[in-house]
């Protein structure tokens, strides 16, 4: 079995689910003829036809609104926004309608829609193409927010997202699209939503991260292991709703925690996780919780982008700080 990238895993999951369920529709800007801005939907138009793969106008509010309408009538739309920074015109539809439809109709209607978008920095693109504003969606009741960090998790989590009866925001880290490859059996095996993944067990400190920052986090954990420091690494994966039990159990074991994300520090998901740990695991903590995050600025262009992203050096410094 050939190894595939995260990008290819997304394509593989879409194709599998479209083959399995004729109600699955793919729509968005350039997803058909061009196969998407990163080619995540390449080949789907040829395989499933123009009735199920739609190229839309450059109108994110329309894309979101059409998707909600289709979802309310029994279809399962998977809508793509070209970049996370382009998704904001669709916020009205997503927050006021997709997220509220089940509650508004007292359960008579649900909204099985997936909104996919590339997100995050690291590809030397302008700011609207590099943002990590997952906290906006995580703050909204009624939305599930999922972020894969590997090809295998992208495949399994996307299948689960499409099969979920409620709206899912599926954020795909652009920096990871072609960074690593894995064997990903195309067998339709979904991974559980709302559950953290323990990528590495350890005893000295818990490292909590998601998305592209798992790459640097795992590198630091492996390097520190050579220095006799045992790091437990947790991939949150679904940042809303949070799997509190896995986080709490880990911190109860290690007594220390460093949270790593590339979104700006203030009001990021790291703050929410830190609050949960402070409220429910305070007496297990042997040191203050430390966050390593992006800065409270717009992602800078090109040469400064690398300085914006949390580096392995910053993560290692944070770990050594909590250990001291």
Catalytic positions: 129
What span, in angstroms and rounded, lies between the C-alpha atoms of 91 and 106? 22
Q: Are strands 257-264 and 205-209 parallel, antiparallel or unpaired?
A: parallel
Distance of CA 241 to the CA centre of its chain: 12
In whole angstroms, give the CA distance from residue 81 to residue 36. 10
DSSP character for 255?
Answer: S
> Quick check: helix, strand or coil at residue 296?
coil
Burial of 188 (0-12, 13-18, 19+ CB in 10 A): middle
Nearest to 77 by CA among 94, 61, 63, 59: 63
Residue recorded with tokens 């559950």: 195
Give CA–CA dist 153/176, Å, rounded: 12
Q: Are 9 and 27 in contact (CB under 8 A)?
A: no
CA angle 220, 173, 68 (to 5 degrees): 145
């Amino acid at each position: 079995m050939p190894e595939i990238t995260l990008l290819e895993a997304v394509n593989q999951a879409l194709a599998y689910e479209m083959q399995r369920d004729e109600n699955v529709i793919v729509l968005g800007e350039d997803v058909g003829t061009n196969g998407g801005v990163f080619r995540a939907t390449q080949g789907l138009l040829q395989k499933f036809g123009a009735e199920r793969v739609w190229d839309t106008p450059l109108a994110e509010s329309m894309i979101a609104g059409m998707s909600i309408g289709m979802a309310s009538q029994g279809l399962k739309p998977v809508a793509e926004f070209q970049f996370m920074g382009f998704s904001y015109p669709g916020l009205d539809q997503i927050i006021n309608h997709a997220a509220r439809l089940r509650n508004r109709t007292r359960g008579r209607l649900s909204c099985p829609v997936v909104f996919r978008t590339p997100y995050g920095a690291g590809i030397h693109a302008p700011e609207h193409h590099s943002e990590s504003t997952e906290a906006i969606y995580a703050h909204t009741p009624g939305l599930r927010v999922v972020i894969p960090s590997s090809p295998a998790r992208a495949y399994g989590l996307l299948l689960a997202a499409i099969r979920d009866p409620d709206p899912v925001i599926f954020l795909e880290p652009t920096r990871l699209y072609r960074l690593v490859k894995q064997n990903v059996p195309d067998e339709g095996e979904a991974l559980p939503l709302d559950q953290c993944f323990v990528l590495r067990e350890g005893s000295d400190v818990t490292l909590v991260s998601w998305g592209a920052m798992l790459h640097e986090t795992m590198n630091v954990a492996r390097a520190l292991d050579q220095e006799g420091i045992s790091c437990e690494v947790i991939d949150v994966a679904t940042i809303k709703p949070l799997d509190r039990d896995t986080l709490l159990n880990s911190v109860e074991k290690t007594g220390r925690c460093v949270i790593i994300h590339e979104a700006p520090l203030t009001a990021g998901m790291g703050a929410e996780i830190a609050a949960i740990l402070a409220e429910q695991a305070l007496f297990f903590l042997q040191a203050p919780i430390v966050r390593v995050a992006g800065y409270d600025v717009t992602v800078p262009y090109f040469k400064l982008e690398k300085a914006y992203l949390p580096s392995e050096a910053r993560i290692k410094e944070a770990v050594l700080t909590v250990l001291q």
